[in-house]
Amino acid sequence: MTNITETVEQGKPNIITPVQVETAVFADCHFLQEAVENSERVTNSTIEDLYADGAYQSPDNREFAKVHNNMQLKTGKMQGGCRWELIPHDKDGLTVIEIATGNTYEAVKVVTRQGNRKRWRIPWNNKTGWRYFEDKDIQTYLTRRQIESLPLEEQHKRNNVEAAMFQYSFHTRNGKTRYRSLLKHRLHAYSRCMWMNLRRMVIFQIPRFQRSIFALFGPLREAFGLVKRFHKRFQSMKTIAM
């Protein structure tokens, strides 16, 4: 499993900063904190907005973003659908709305005997007769609402990384390499991403080089035109003198 992080600054090339390669059982959300720290070390700047897939959303990562210079953890989409609207109110109140039917329930807060697990419940037609919701469900819903309220240009910034992953795995078969050890996979990932960075910098510099050449040709054309006018005037003066 390969995780790629890149910059998305306006007016600058998108450069891949850290590249992380782990086994397939490694969870996506575990990549985030190390990727942020490595990116800040490479770019020598503080990350203010981080655009990541919904799989990178987790309570630990949200807490990390909060204490890490109040970094904004944004994403264009969270995996899975949303069946319930969970609207907290007052201190312990929770309004639950089933999106498909529009039915509204006022959830009741319940606490386990040990007092270490707080949940809300609504009457439901199942074995227990109740449908339970926890704090993490409420936080997931609020995060989803925040993501959906982002402008489209903010949501589309995530697509840059999708394009990078396509370029990275373009020469593989079904997204798999021919290597059989973690070290070889890492060497392949590093070399491939270095080549991608080189290509991006070259493509970014070509228009700038062309503009500088055109800007240089302008004064040269003016100087050549001035010399040509002087030459014509000198020829006319020579004809009159003869």
Q: How far apart are CA 222 and CA 204, in angstroms?
A: 29
Mean pLDDT for 2-26 is 83
Tokens of 201: 């910098």
| Sign of the dihedral through C-alpha 14, 17, 19, 25 | negative
pTM: 0.59
Higher pLDDT pick, 163 / 226: 163
Percent of the chain with pLDDT over 70: 76
Residue listed under structure tokens 């990727």? 35
Q: What pLDDT does 210 receive? A: 62
Mean pLDDT for 106-128 is 79
Q: Would you say 62 and 87 are in contact if contact means Cβ atoms under 8 Å apart? A: no
Q: What pLDDT does 76 receive? A: 56
Query: 30-34, 77-81, 92-96, 154-158 — which is least confidently predicted?
Result: 77-81
Tokens of 239: 């004809």
- Angle between helix 32-43 and helix 59-67 axes, rounded to 10 deg: 30
Rounded to the nearest 5 percent, the helix, strand and coil shares of the chain are 50, 20, 30
User: Hey, what amino acid is at 155?
Assistant: Q
The mean pLDDT value of the chain amounts to 78
**Collapsing DSSP states into helix, strand and coil, what is residue 200?**
helix
In the predicted model, is pLDDT for residue 137 greater than 70? yes
Higher pLDDT pick, 208 / 110: 110
Q: What pLDDT does 159 receive? A: 63
CB hemisphere CA count around 30 (13 angstroms): 10
